[in-house]
Amino acid sequence: MLDYKFSSKTIFQYLPEEIIQKILLHCDPDDINLNLQRVCRRLQTLANEPSLWRHNCHLEFRYWDIKHCIQDKYLWPVGYVDWKSLYLYRRKVDLKTTQLLNSIICTQKSRISKYEAIAEFGYDAKDTLLRHIGVDENTEDVLARRYYANSVLDYLHRVNAIEIWQKTLDDKSVPVETALGCFDLFILHNKRGDVSEINETFDKMAECFRYQCPGVENLPTRAKAFATIDFMSRHNFTSLESNRVYQNIERNYIGLYLQNPKDPPSPLLSAVIYCALGRRIGLDARGCGTLNYIHIVVFSRPGETLDAEILKEGEPAGEPIYLDPQRAMIQVPLHTLRKTLSDRGLHPGYHAQFLSDVSIASVILRMSKTILATVRRFRAHENDFHTDTHSVIRNSSCHFMDMENAHYSALWADFLFTGDSRQLNSGTSQSNLIPTILERYERQYPMDSRLIENHILPLYDDPRSLLSCQIVHALRAVRISDESSKQIRLRLPPADKKVLYKVGQVFRHKRYYYQAVIFGWDLEGGVDFERAISNDAESLPSERHQTFYHALVEDTSTRYVAEENIDIIKPDYPKNLMKQAGKYFKRWDPHSRTFVSGIRDEYPED
């Protein structure tokens, strides 16, 4: 007969270990570590089982820094890894990242060092940042938290991208799809499609190919090459020449494209997809740099012809296969390519250089030029934004700031790889790119100080060089500004009467009709007065002795606007301002229909 006077502890001791282990799988890992394992010796033993903490690591964290080699560890016997220590380390990273992010949000001072401290954790910080990006709409500082978590994640992605490109420059083994995926990291934000996910997608694509075409890996090279074309055509991975491809910038980013392959990719992207997929089924396909655009060249296996016939000793392998990605991967005869090169005035002695495989650097530079062309096309329509409801910009899924990020990615690619490509002469030297990179750095990417210090400054370390002095001066100016406290601006006389508007109010420009939000003011035209002349010239007053306001515009630019040109409005929800508003504001207040200031360390009374 069961004695109901047994304590719960005694009853618990009669449970089989398998049941307790199942229960622990559903318990909070931190509760297990801090409380449950202290209840009794039996629980302490079960709560420290490696399989439990392996489960928690897999369940709680999706992204891991490369130093952990986490995919290899998941394949090892469970006892080979100290899974609990690994979990506790990730929790420590989570807490520290959150503390640093909170500090970035709370004060404008010393943000760069905090960005760098989070980046030291590498991809171990990504899960934490994604959690903060996804905070609830009712969070007190929702706009600021989302903006700065996204900004830190963008910085983390850029660090990763440039590290991979540096490995490419150092002749380390980097697949072409990984090198090209670095462009994605500049505009990825919190979306899927980073370099690890690109490789996962290609692995799954290859599995699908093997399933749909059993034995494809054993086919002769020629049959395998055309089977790959057929597979890509059925899944919309082949390209056709079309301006629409170049208008949609996302068709040039391999990670974003693979997540949603509705429209055809750009020809260059189609070529890279072919080569990456082919490599996974044993096909030796590479980019080939003809004059106009990239082709694909497919080589036979060593010692064989394209049709798997064994070559005799000393017998040449024969011509490879050339494919045109701009025309749905049709085969192009070698004599046609030679004629094209000759018609363009190239001596036959140089044909081999353009008909052989190209370096990854050349592929990266070609993609950089494609992205820049798309950005220029996009910017050509910027003036249509306010007047044309059917403009390219209004109907693009890409945000204004994404165009800046895309341009920035191309600048970095051009800087790093110019001079490293043996076939593509861009006509641009590295030194010519530095002023543009520094301008972007000072204006929009001050957190990239360490990238400038590590990847640009060492190439120009002569203190007597004017360019070196410019780089050092820019770095010093940005860091000093970041580490200095902001000047506190109080509404003391005469500001209490002369400054009519407050930080957080939304207005429409009386002359140009754009919508913007105030994030600062000067009692009279201050240091930005000269800049105001360039962006507000026709509407400036005859004198500078009136209040001027710093404004964030819906196209993500900032303007310096005279008070007389401001028409305060109270919109229900200024959608076009929301994405960038977190840089200066905590949240949108639907009752007052203004933004709640996040820069009270500078404007405490606004």
* Number of folded domains that form the chain: 5
Res. 190: pLDDT tops 90: yes
Helices 111-119, 83-106: crossing angle, 10 deg rounding: 160
400 Cβ neighbours under 8 A, 6+ residues apart: 393, 555, 556, 557
pLDDT of residue 424: 42
Residue 27: partners with Cβ closer than 8 Å, 6 or more residues away: 36
Q: What is the 3-state secondary structure (H, E, C) of 478-492?
A: HHHHHHCCCCCCCCC
Mean pLDDT score across all residues of the chain: 86
CA-to-CA distance for 265 and 261, rounded, in angstroms?
8
Burial of 96 (0-12, 13-18, 19+ CB in 10 A): middle
Answer yes or no: do 268 and 350 share one domain. Answer: yes
pLDDT band (50, 70, 90) for residue 530: low
Q: Is residue 405 part of a domain?
A: no
Among the three residues 60, 81, 102, which one is the final residue of a domain in this structure? 81
Give the pLDDT of residue 389. Answer: 42
Residues 35-69 have pLDDT tens digits of 776 667 777 777 778 888 899 999 999 999 999 99
Range of the domain at 316: 184-362
pLDDT reported for residue 536: 52
Same domain, 439 and 300: no
Contact 381, 393 (CB under 8 A): yes
pLDDT for 515 beyond 60: yes
CA distance to 78, 178, 187, 369, 403, per residue, from 406 (Å): 43, 17, 7, 11, 5
Residue 384 has pLDDT above 60, yes or no: no
At 526 the pLDDT is 56
Q: How confident is the model at residue 111 (pLDDT cuts 50, 70, 90)?
A: very high
Give the per-residue pLDDT at 10. 57
Confidence label for 588 from pLDDT (cuts 50, 70 and 90): very high
The CA-atom distances, in angstroms, between 340 and each of 242, 329, 346, 354 are 21, 18, 9, 11
Non-local (6+) Cβ contacts of 128 within 8 A are 93, 94, 97, 98, 101
Residue 529: name the closest of 542, 544, 546, 508 by CA: 544
pLDDT value, residue 533: 47
Residues constituting the chain: 606
- Looking at the structure, tell me whether residues 244 and 300 fall in a common domain: yes
Residue 419 domain flag = no
201 and 189 part of one domain: yes
Closest CA to 33 of 95, 88, 79: 88
**For the packed helices 400-417 and 430-443, what is the interaxial angle rounded to 10 degrees?**
150
Q: Do 448 and 353 reside in the same domain of the chain?
A: no
Q: Is residue 375 part of a domain?
A: no
Q: What percent of the chain shows pLDDT beyond 70?
A: 87
Q: List the one residue out of 160, 188, 158 whose CA is nearest residue 255.
A: 188
Q: Confirm whether 273 is domain-assigned.
A: yes
**Quick check: is 602 in a domain?**
no
- Residue 290 is given by DSSP the state -
Q: Is the pLDDT of residue 336 over 70?
A: yes
Q: What is the pLDDT of residue 595?
A: 98
Which residue, among 131, 132, 193, 206, has the nearest Cα to 157 in the 3D structure? 193
Distance CA 243, CA 220 (A): 36
Q: What angle do CA 227, 231, 237 make, to 5 degrees?
A: 130
Q: pLDDT tens for residues 441-455?
A: 999 999 999 999 999
Do residues 190 and 336 both lie within one domain?
Answer: yes
**By the 8 A CB rule, do 375 and 407 touch?**
yes
Residue 32 has pLDDT above 50, yes or no: yes
Statement to judge: residues 62 and 101 lie in one domain: no
CATH of the domain at 554: 2.30.30.390
**Same domain for 122 and 204?**
no
Alpha helices in 281-332 (DSSP H): none
Residue 211 domain flag: yes
Per residue in 386-429, pLDDT (tens digit) is: 444 444 444 444 467 788 999 999 999 999 998 654 344 444 57
Quick one: 190 and 335 in the same domain? Answer: yes
Query: What does 405-451 look like in DSSP terms, one character per residue?
Result: HHHHHHHHHHHHHTTT-SS---S--HHHHHHHHHHHHHHT-GGGHHH
Reduced to 3 states (helix: H, G, I; strand: E, B; else coil), residue 464 is coil
Instruction: Please indicate, yes or no, if residue 217 is contained in any of the structural domains.
Output: yes
Of the candidates 431, 490, 492, the residue with the CA atom closest to the CA atom of residue 462: 431
Residue after which a domain boundary falls, among 40, 60, 81: 81
Mean per-residue pLDDT for 486-498?
84
**Residue where a domain stops, chosen among 362, 381, 398:** 362
In this prediction, residue 19 has a pLDDT band, given cuts at 50, 70 and 90, of: confident
| Residue 400 domain flag | no
- Provide the pLDDT confidence category of residue 264 given band limits of 50, 70 and 90: confident
Say yes or no: 192 and 302 in one domain: yes
pLDDT score, position 2:
46
Please state which of the ranges 135-149, 493-507, 515-529 shows the lowest mean pLDDT.
Answer: 515-529
pLDDT score of 13 more than 80: no
Together in a domain, 173 and 246: no
DSSP helix/strand/coil, 457:
helix
Supply the pLDDT for residue 212.
95
Does the pLDDT value for residue 266 go beyond 90? no
Check whether residue 179 and residue 191 sit in a common domain. no
In degrees to the nearest 10, what's the CA dihedral of 22, 24, 28, 33? -160
